[in-house]
Amino acid sequence: MLRRSLLVLIFAFFVLLVLFPVLVGGYLVADAGNDTLGFAVFRGLVVTVLVLLVVDVLLMVATLSLLQVTSQDQQQERSDSSGNDGR
């Protein structure tokens, strides 16, 4: 479950990473063309994508941490069970 979540987060990260400069370009074009409505829309989209990128990175770090903790717990259980069999 954690690995699948991590894959989704990584995919979303790359999509947002590509989307961000595209929206910044639209923002700059709208600014240069004195389009106030387009400027406001693109500014909102750029800020939204930037916030989503930050949230995505934080969720990836949390998911990787949980994955590491569960992996260590499983390794500890395996070593405990194999150590008790020989006694």
pTM: 0.79
Is the Cβ–Cβ distance between 13 and 64 less than 8 Å?
Answer: no
Q: Judge whether 81 lies within some domain.
A: no
Burial class of residue 56 in the structure, from the number of CB atoms within 10 Å of its CB (0-12 exposed, 13-18 middle, 19+ buried): buried
Q: If you ran DSSP here, which 8-state letter would residue 34 be given?
A: T
Instruction: State mean pLDDT over 35-62.
Output: 96
Q: Which domain holds residue 56?
A: 2-69
> Which amino acid appears at position 8 of this protein?
V
The pair of three-digit structure tokens given for residue 30, joined into one six-digit string = 């709208």
pLDDT of res. 87: 52
Q: Judge whether 83 lies within some domain.
A: no
Instruction: State mean pLDDT over 59-76.
Output: 87
Q: Structural domain tally of the chain?
A: 1
pLDDT band for 4, please (50, 70, 90 cuts): very high
